A = this chain, B = another copy of it.
Amino acid sequence: MSVSRPSALLVFLLLLVGCSQRGFDPVAEGEKLLRRDTEWADLASAGKDVEKIVWYWTDDAVLIFPGQPVLEGKAAIRAYVAQSLNTPGFRIHWVSEKPVFSPDGKLAYMRGKNELTAPGPNGAPTTVHLRGISIWRLDADGQWRCVVDISNEEPPAAPVPK
């Protein structure tokens, strides 16, 4: 019966592997997610590469911007990004903070502040200050991607985001 103890050990190890996702470190993972978000914001701010920017959203991502039709899915998002980058004077940048994770470390959300400049109704550049929530999912390929992006306007007297 010398097989029994090794088999107990094997069962233990197999289940430990199965449960290993619980050992995730929210502080380290939060820093990783914020770094990823900063990379993304910098790419969007540079405004050059539609595919690289779009890569950070999941295939089924949903974008809910104030007063605009909801954008659902990568094709709609790609078209929106391409159109924005083709708009003279368009510029966007955001900063996120305080990621919060599900206990298994596979879903997260963050608050963010967003500064967006685009031609206003009279053609002159208009800057709006938004704040919002992004929800992130650990995708099947092990990459964090944004699955929901929603924002609204700051109160009129709000300070400019840093």
Contacts and interface: CB of A to CB of B under 8 A. Distances in A.
Interface of A: 1-2, 4-5, 7-8, 11-12, 15-16, 18-19, 62, 64-70, 100-104, 106-107, 109, 111, 131-133, 135, 147-148, 150-156
A103 B106 contact: yes
Contacts of A69: 155
Interface of A is mostly: mixed
Contacts of A18: 15, 19
Contact of A102 (B4, B16, B65, B107): B107
Contact of A66 (B8, B66, B102): B66
Contacts of A1: 1-2, 4
A104 B111 CA distance: 22
A46 B154 CA distance: 29
Contact of A104 (B7, B8, B62, B102): B102
A111 B69 CA distance: 14
Given A1-B1, A67-B156, 15 more contacts: A1-B2, A4-B5, A4-B8, A7-B8, A8-B11, A12-B15, A15-B15, A64-B133, A102-B107, A103-B104, A107-B107, A109-B109, A109-B135, A133-B150, A150-B150
